Structure 1
Amino acid sequence: MADGPQPYLTTTSHPARVAIFLSGSGSNAERILQQWQAAEAPPFEVVTLVTDRPEHSRACEIGRAFDLPVVANDIREFYRSGGCTRVTLATAEGRSLREKWTDALRRQLAEYQIDFGVFAGFIPLTNITGDFPCLNVHPGDLTYLKGGERYLVGLHTVPIERAILEGLDHLRTSVIIAEPYEDSDDMDSGPILGLSPPVGIDLTGCHPDELRTIVADRPAQRPLGGFGDALEKIAIAHQERLKEGGDWIVLPPVVFDFAAGRFASDADDLYYRGQAGWDRIQTVEYSDVGAAPRGP
Structure 2
Amino acid sequence: MVKVAIFASGSGTNFENIMQRVTAGELPNIEVTALYTDQAEAECIQRAQPFNLDVHITELKDYATKADYERAMLKQLEREGVEWIILAGYMKLISATILDAYESRILNIHPSLLPKYKGVDAIGQAFTSGDKETGTTVHYVDSGMDTGQIIEQRQCPIYEDDTKADLEQRVKSLEYELYPKVIAEIIQ
- 1:119 is aligned to 87
- CA distance in structure 2 between the aligned counterparts of 1:200 and 1:40, rounded to whole angstroms: 28
In the alignment, structure 1 residue 52 sits paired with structure 2 residue 8: no
RMSD after superposition: 2.3
- CA distance in structure 2 between the aligned counterparts of 1:41 and 1:134, rounded to whole angstroms: 17
Q: Give the partner amino acid of 1:124.
A: K
- CA distance in structure 2 between the aligned counterparts of 1:187 and 1:154, rounded to whole angstroms: 7
- 1:94 is aligned to none
- 1:256 is aligned to 184
- Given that 2:6 and 2:86 are in contact with CA atoms closer than 8 Å, whether structure 1 keeps it comes out as yes
- TM-score, normalization by structure 2: 0.85
- Given that 1:19 and 1:117 are in contact with CA atoms closer than 8 Å, whether structure 2 keeps it comes out as yes
Deviations, residues 85-105 of structure 1 (Å, cap 9, x unaligned):
xxxxxxxxxxxx322221221
- CA distance in structure 2 between the aligned counterparts of 1:120 and 1:74, rounded to whole angstroms: 17
Q: Residue 49 of structure 2 is aligned with which of 46, 50, 64? A: 64
- Given that 1:157 and 1:239 are in contact with CA atoms closer than 8 Å, whether structure 2 keeps it comes out as no
Q: Select the structure of larger CA radius of gyration.
A: 1
- In the TM superposition, residue 154 of structure 1 has moved relative to its aligned partner by 2.1
Q: Residue 247 of structure 1 is aligned with which of 161, 169, 175? A: 175
Question: What aligned pairs does 1:23-172 form with structure 2 within 5 A after superposition?
Answer: 23-39=9-25, 42-59=28-45, 61-75=46-60, 77-78=61-62, 82=64, 97-127=65-95, 128-132=98-102, 133-142=105-114, 150=115, 152-158=116-122, 160-162=124-126, 164-165=128-129, 167-172=130-135
- CA distance in structure 2 between the aligned counterparts of 1:124 and 1:236, rounded to whole angstroms: 24
- CA distance in structure 2 between the aligned counterparts of 1:160 and 1:172, rounded to whole angstroms: 12
- Given that 1:47 and 1:69 are in contact with CA atoms closer than 8 Å, whether structure 2 keeps it comes out as yes
- TM-score, normalization by structure 1: 0.56
Deviations, residues 67-87 of structure 1 (Å, cap 9, x unaligned):
111111023x33xx65xxxxx
Deviations, residues 165-196 of structure 1 (Å, cap 9, x unaligned):
2x3212111000101x2xxxx23222211222
Secondary structure at the residue paired with 2:5?
strand
- In the TM superposition, residue 66 of structure 1 has moved relative to its aligned partner by 0.6
Q: Which piece of structure 1 moves more, 36-45 or 251-260?
A: 36-45
Q: Give the partner amino acid of 1:189.
A: T
- CA distance in structure 2 between the aligned counterparts of 1:178 and 1:41, rounded to whole angstroms: 21
- CA distance in structure 2 between the aligned counterparts of 1:40 and 1:200, rounded to whole angstroms: 28
Secondary structure at the residue paired with 1:171?
strand
- Given that 1:28 and 1:247 are in contact with CA atoms closer than 8 Å, whether structure 2 keeps it comes out as yes
More helix by percentage: 2
- 2:4 is aligned to 18
Percentage of pairs with the same residue: 26
- 1:85 is aligned to none
* CA shift in 2, pair 1:37/1:107, >3 Å: same
Q: Give the partner amino acid of 2:22.
A: W
Runs of 4+ in structure 1 off by over 6 angstroms are none
- In the TM superposition, residue 38 of structure 1 has moved relative to its aligned partner by 1.1
- In the TM superposition, residue 238 of structure 1 has moved relative to its aligned partner by 3.2
- 2:158 is aligned to 201
